[in-house]
A and B are shown apart, each in its own frame.
Chain A
Amino acid sequence: MSKLLKRILKISVWPAVLMIAGKLLGIIIANIAYKLDFFIDNQIQGIFSIQLYYTDTATTLLVNSVSNLFMIIILAVPTIYFIIKTSIYQSTLQNPRTIVKITKLNVLSWITKNDTSFLLIFVWCSFLLVASLIIIAQSIQGISYSWIGGLSAVLAIFSIWGTIKTYELEIDKIYPKEKELY
């Protein structure tokens, strides 16, 4: 088995678990915070055998929106963290001003540890993208607040941009730009 596949599998575990956990946590928190009564039904038809349901549309909308918000935040925070960390790390290699700045902020030890790879960002970004697409689709269907759909779209665009930027930085390491060499 290739090393790349092994690494992707290893990296994919956490976002996959957090995606489900975020959704579940959001449902539990919404139910506790608003003291809601939920019902569980088992269905014979369709691909899902168990379905969570509420008796009124407003409650369904609230619970779905809160759980979607939790899920997207849980996935977006690490993704953005990895993107920012990699960007600053790469910047320190090219720009001495960045080193001075991060030394002043006393985050040198945090930034110089190169444990964030492009692959890690790519996998996290993919999960964030999948979650965003689900939320956007639900917002269009009217079963989630539209502002959460908008927020997901912004986060997805930002993470895609961050992933492309990280890819460019990684490529620059292999094929340095000519103008920087001469």
Chain B
Amino acid sequence: MKKQNLLPQIVEPFAIVVLLAFFIVPTLTVINLSPITKEVKKENVLGVNTFSSNIDVRDLGGFHEIIKGESLSKTNESEYLYKTTIHRRDNLKTYSKPILQIQNNGFSPVVLSFYGYTDSRTDTKVTLKIGRNSYLLRDENGQLYHQDFFLEPTSNTTVYLYLENSNRILFSENFEMELSIK
């Protein structure tokens, strides 16, 4: 009696599975390779979130005659960008507006670093007022300064933007301020 070779019949179902895998695997791989948008998770070795997540920065907004079009965006986990437009203004006058509310919900103090600049070369002096202290960001000559502020644990503070100029300014200028949490 002639022996029947059963091997092709056994292999064939597997070959069909392999063929299906040729279609399914690239499809799933392509879907998986498609990137998504997500916040970067910064965790320390113990799996506890870093102090930056305990900081709450809020744009106060509101109406002001020359400080308009305010926006606050989070550029990364520990950095914020505050933008506003400073409109035309009179000379020898000072303008002030509360711009940010910063809350430290953590149990350790944090250092808030401020760096602000304008897009034009005017003689505007830009200062931040936090509590009783003043922090100069830009002097009359256009010189820029980095300023650090310590925020105590479980406390909050309001940041005021303070402007003064000796000459009358007839145009609008954009002001940007970087806030980083260290």
Is A53's CB under 8 angstroms from B22's CB? Answer: no
Give the distance to chain B from A84, nearest Cβ to Cβ, in Å.
24
Complex CA–CA separation, A38 to B15 (angstroms)? 38
Contacts A23-B30, A23-B33; A16 near B38 (Cβ below 8 A): no
Q: Which chain A residues lie closer than 8 Å to B15 at the CB level? A: 1, 5-6, 9
Give the distance to chain A from B152, nearest Cβ to Cβ, in Å.
30
B35 at the interface (CB under 8 A from A): yes
Ordered by A's residue number, 25 sampled pairs between the chains whose C-beta atoms are within 8 Å are: A1-B12, A5-B12, A5-B16, A6-B15, A8-B19, A9-B18, A9-B19, A12-B22, A13-B22, A19-B30, A20-B26, A20-B30, A23-B33, A27-B33, A48-B28, A52-B35, A53-B38, A54-B37, A54-B38, A55-B38, A55-B39, A64-B34, A64-B35, A71-B30, A130-B27
What residues make up the interface of B, taking CB atoms closer than 8 Å to A?
Answer: 8, 11-12, 15-16, 18-19, 22-23, 25-41, 76
Seed contacts A5-B19, A19-B29, A23-B29; 14 additional CB < 8 Å A-B pairs? A9-B15, A9-B19, A16-B22, A16-B26, A19-B30, A20-B26, A23-B30, A24-B33, A48-B28, A51-B32, A54-B38, A67-B33, A67-B34, A126-B23
